[in-house]
């Protein structure tokens, strides 16, 4: 049984459930990521039921116990192992048309997974943390380095100050710049397969110094997930590449939209548009005669 089929299993049992079991089912279906990471007491509290009800709910699904329930929940976010990825690559077609179609299908699938696990409350808390932070620190190496720079640019208007740690200048420079990151700072760290051990080590150290960490990664099994106070998941599966960044870039857009909706007034937007307009290309307006003949 896969974790996706776990959600299907819950849906198939939903109509015959008691009201209490229905509350648990509805919570898990609305928040599959949270449910997969919660202990039994946390899940009971979130669904406003007893621990005994959770145990009965799990057994009612035909599962052996809560440990199996949670394992199946986590499995839905498990990426392919390096060996599985190599085996898939070896058997995959290398024809251009198949590569194009496979890539686009993977992108769509990753976006669907991101949509299925999205939790609006996590984006709300992330937006609140970013706007309240003394400084927002962006950390990413390898594939994640240009991506965190993009995110920094997207949310620049909502940050009091920014610091980008993307490996430029080497590890010694990163260590020196990260040394004073701590209380009052928010770190947005990103790690995609292949995961950078240096990123994980820096995040662990900075979090111990008192900074709050928003992690952006592809799966609950990512090493970054263990060190994040808030976690944004964007599946990164790809039939040929080590990772696909598309779903995580979509998370950037969601976070930026949430920040914009919470902080930008109509007057601010109009003023910003007025200042930018002279620097933008604009198409010439049609004359009345041209409009009449079009």
The residue ranges of every structural domain in the chain are 3-75, 116-263
Q: Please report the pLDDT score of residue 78 as a whole number.
A: 58
Q: Please report the pLDDT score of residue 179 as a whole number.
A: 93
Q: Please report the pLDDT score of residue 283 as a whole number.
A: 66
Q: Please report the pLDDT score of residue 207 as a whole number.
A: 94
Region 116-263: CATH code: 3.40.50.10490
Radius of gyration of the chain (CA): 23
Q: Please report the pLDDT score of residue 3 as a whole number.
A: 43
Q: Angle at CA 145, nearest 5°, toward 142 and 147?
A: 120
> Is 162 in a helix, a strand, or coil?
strand
Q: Please report the pLDDT score of residue 292 as a whole number.
A: 60
Claim: this prediction has a pTM higher than 0.75: no
Q: How many angstroms separate the CA atoms of 183 and 132, rounded?
A: 12
Across the chain, which has 294 residues, the per-10-residue mean pLDDT values are: 67 91 90 76 92 94 88 65 53 71 84 84 94 96 94 96 92 91 96 92 95 93 90 87 92 96 72 81 66 59
Q: Angle at CA 107, nearest 5°, toward 102 and 108?
A: 100
Q: Please report the pLDDT score of residue 33 as a whole number.
A: 64
Q: Please report the pLDDT score of residue 269 as a whole number.
A: 66
Architecture, CATH, for domain 3-75: Orthogonal Bundle (1.10)
């Amino acid at each position: 049984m896969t974790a996706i089929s776990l959600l299907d299993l819950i849906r198939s049992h939903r109509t015959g459930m008691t009201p209490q079991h229905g509350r648990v089912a509805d919570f898990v279906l609305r928040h599959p990521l949270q449910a997969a990471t919660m202990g039994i007491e946390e899940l009971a509290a979130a669904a406003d039921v007893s621990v005994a009800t959770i145990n009965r709910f799990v057994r009612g699904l035909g599962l052996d116990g809560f440990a199996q329930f949670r394992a199946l929940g986590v499995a839905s976010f498990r990426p392919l192992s390096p060996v599985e990825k190599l085996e898939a690559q070896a058997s995959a077609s290398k024809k251009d048309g198949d590569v194009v179609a496979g890539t686009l299908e993977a992108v769509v699938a990753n976006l669907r997974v991101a949509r299925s696990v999205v939790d609006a409350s996590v984006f709300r808390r992330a937006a609140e943390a970013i706007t309240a932070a003394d400084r927002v620190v962006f950390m990413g190496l390898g594939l994640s380095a240009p991506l965190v720079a993009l995110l920094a640019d997207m949310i620049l208007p909502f940050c009091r100050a920014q610091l980008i740690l993307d490996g430029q200048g080497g590890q010694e420079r990163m260590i020196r710049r990260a040394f004073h990151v701590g209380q009052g700072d928010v770190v947005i760290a990103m790690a995609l397969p292949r995961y950078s051990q240096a990123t994980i080590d820096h995040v662990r150290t900075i979090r111990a110094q008192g900074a709050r960490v928003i992690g952006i990664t592809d799966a609950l099994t990512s090493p970054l997930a263990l060190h994040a106070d808030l976690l944004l998941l964007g599946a990164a599966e790809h039939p040929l590449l080590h990772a696909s960044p598309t779903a995580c870039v979509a998370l950037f857009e969601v976070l930026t939209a949430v920040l914009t909706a919470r902080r930008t007034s109509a007057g601010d937007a109009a003023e910003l548009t007025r200042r930018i307009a002279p620097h933008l290309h604009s198409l010439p307006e049609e004359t009345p005669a041209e409009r009449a003949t079009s």
